[in-house]
Amino acid sequence: MELIDHLWRDLDRFARAGARPVEILTDPGAWVAFTYRLGRAVRRLPRLLRVPAVCAHKPLELLIGTLARVALPPSAEVGGGLRVGRVGGIRVAAHAYIGRDCDLSEGVTIADSGGAPWIGDRVQIGPGAKLVGPIRVGNDAAIGPNAVVETDVPDGASVAGIPARLIAGTGSRGRLVPGRRRPPLVDAMRGMVRGLLPRPTQLLLRG
């Protein structure tokens, strides 16, 4: 079941970061992840059950979102292993896609402007960064603090600045808390599907 699998991956990354069970239970980021996963699950129920379940979930979503200062709507698609910054101020567009094992730091904005961002796996998004529009951020990319990203980011790239541009670096490799590995067959199938999609274009250097 997707809810259990993704939630388990979320909690596993908190634990791998050194958080003890009591710290996970009191972490606003963990509550945001749980509330989001629950919201995704109830919206997949049969219509007869979905309407009352969504009505019951909405107050919880608003409460946790207000306390944590995080807007992560269930309509956004987020893979397992999400880590959310403690401080909050995070805003995610309703139709954004975020891959697995990604980090959203405090103050991050993922905004819809003619389309929502598509973010790959194992992407680290630094504090205050803004990703805007129908851009693609490749796997293992790293977005620097306060960067404003409005163009595609290649796999494994590091970007920073306003507007964001490529900088020397190895992306998020070695900087992220690792997530649980998927079975090799699952990764192979995901790779085949991604190979059929357009690759992220090279981010243009701006002087």
Taken in order of first residue, the domains within the chain and their CATH numbers are 2-196 (2.160.10.10)
For 110-121, what is each residue's pLDDT tens digit? 999 999 999 999
Residues 54, 41 contacting (CB under 8 angstroms): no
* pLDDT the model gives residue 99: 94
* pLDDT the model gives residue 195: 55
Q: Which two tokens stand for residue 187?
A: 């990764």
Helix (H, G, I), strand (E, B) or coil at 180: coil
Lowest mean pLDDT among 40-54, 146-160, 181-195: 181-195
171 band by pLDDT with thresholds 50, 70 and 90:
confident
Closest C-alpha to 153, from 196, 201, 107, 194: 201
Residue type, 184: P
* pLDDT the model gives residue 170: 83
Residues 204, 151 contacting (CB under 8 angstroms): yes
pLDDT of 5 strictly over 70:
yes
SS3 content of the chain, % helix, strand, coil (to 5): 35, 15, 50
Mean pLDDT score, 55-81: 93
Mean pLDDT score, 38-44: 91
Residue 63 backbone zone (phi > 0: left; psi -120 to 50: alpha; other: beta):
alpha
pLDDT of 72 strictly over 60:
yes
